[in-house]
Amino acid sequence: MIKAMMKRTQEVLVVLVLALFYKAASMKPCSKPPQQLDGGDSCLSWRLAVEANNVRAWRTVPIQCLLYLETYMIGGQYERDVEFIVGEILSYVNGGIVLSEDGKDAWILDVDDTCLSNVLYYKGKRYGCDPYDPSGFRAWAMTGECPAIPAILGLFSKLVNSGFKVFLVTGRDEERLGQVTIENLHNQGFVDYERLILRTAAYKGQSAVAYKSAIRQQLVEEGYRIWGNVGDQWSDLQGDYLGNRTFKLPNPMYFVP
């Protein structure tokens, strides 16, 4: 109980320091949220609604939730949420999947904010309160220094070592970001995946749901059994050939249609 009270006090202090910082900084106006939000508890409602796919096609994080979201993303709860889901995935993997000897047991992982974290980049975009900036994001991706999300790297290694074929499927543009994405994955420890599939010219302009469904269909037609499919966007987990189980990782910073 004392520990919990200390923790609460610590949280309040973190929020206080952040509040002073943001008060001092000049704040640009942000997009008007569809609903009035008044801080912590209502931002938790917003985040829950985002993760349950009740809020769709949102362009920016409501400005009132900036401090809440910063605390969520870098204060430990985001990591705890990811680790909990990885625990669920491992329960499922260890709960009776029998791998065949044909080498066709597959998993699909998304890349951005699934394998590799963009939180450092989004910190500079006020955790999604600023609108999407395609060239800014491309410059970040071009550095090849997106860090691994530790729990997902652990999951990845476990899947590969268990004999699953892991396919990394990303909406990143193959021509411009293919080489740097390979290097980034490798320098973060994502090696021995079966295939990295990036968006080629043929899929340019398609929605993530259509593009990723088409890729999964090809894998199924090649004979792969998709046991699981992990992504931070609902558009990774909707459409066709979804796989036996899907797992939604948290991402309250941006929405990919």
Going by C-beta distance under 8 Å and a sequence separation of 6 or more, which residues neighbour residue 2?
none
Minimum distance of a second copy from residue 53's CB (angstroms): 7
- Could you say which DSSP state residue 206 is in? -
Quick check: 76 binds a second copy (CB under 8 A)? yes
Stretch that binds a second copy, among 10-18, 171-179, 182-190, 193-201 (CB under 8 A): 10-18
Quick check: 21 binds a second copy (CB under 8 A)? no
Contact residue for a second copy among 27, 88, 162, 218 (CB under 8 A): 88
- Residue 192 and residue 167: Cα distance in Å, rounded? 10
Give me the residues paired with residue 8 across strands: none
Closest to a second copy by CB, 140 or 241? 241
Contact residue for a second copy among 32, 59, 80, 186 (CB under 8 A): 80
What backbone torsions phi and psi does residue 108 show, to the nearest 5 degrees? -120, 130
Minimum distance of a second copy from residue 5's CB (angstroms): 5
- Residue 149 and residue 130: Cα distance in Å, rounded? 23
Closest to a second copy by CB, 115 or 185? 115
Closest to a second copy by CB, 144 or 250? 250
Footprint (CB under 8 A) of a second copy, residues 24-63:
34-35, 39-42, 44-46, 48-49, 51-56
- Residue 247 and residue 229: Cα distance in Å, rounded? 6
Closest to a second copy by CB, 80 or 195? 80
Quick check: 91 binds a second copy (CB under 8 A)? yes
Minimum distance of a second copy from residue 128's CB (angstroms): 18
**DSSP assignment of 185-200, as one string?**
HHHTT--S-SEEEEE-
Report yes or no: 181 and 198 within 8 Å, Cβ to Cβ: yes
3-state secondary structure of 128: helix
- Residue 227 and residue 225: Cα distance in Å, rounded? 6
Quick check: 240 binds a second copy (CB under 8 A)? no
Contact residue for a second copy among 14, 83, 147, 154 (CB under 8 A): 83
- Residue 196 and residue 174: Cα distance in Å, rounded? 10
Reference 248, options 77, 85, 47, 117; nearest CA is 85
What backbone torsions phi and psi does residue 5 show, to the nearest 5 degrees? -65, -40
Closest to a second copy by CB, 5 or 24? 5
User: What are the residues binding a second copy (CB under 8 A)?
Assistant: 1, 4-5, 8-9, 11-12, 15-16, 19, 34-35, 39-42, 44-46, 48-49, 51-56, 76-77, 80-81, 83-85, 87-88, 91, 245-248, 250
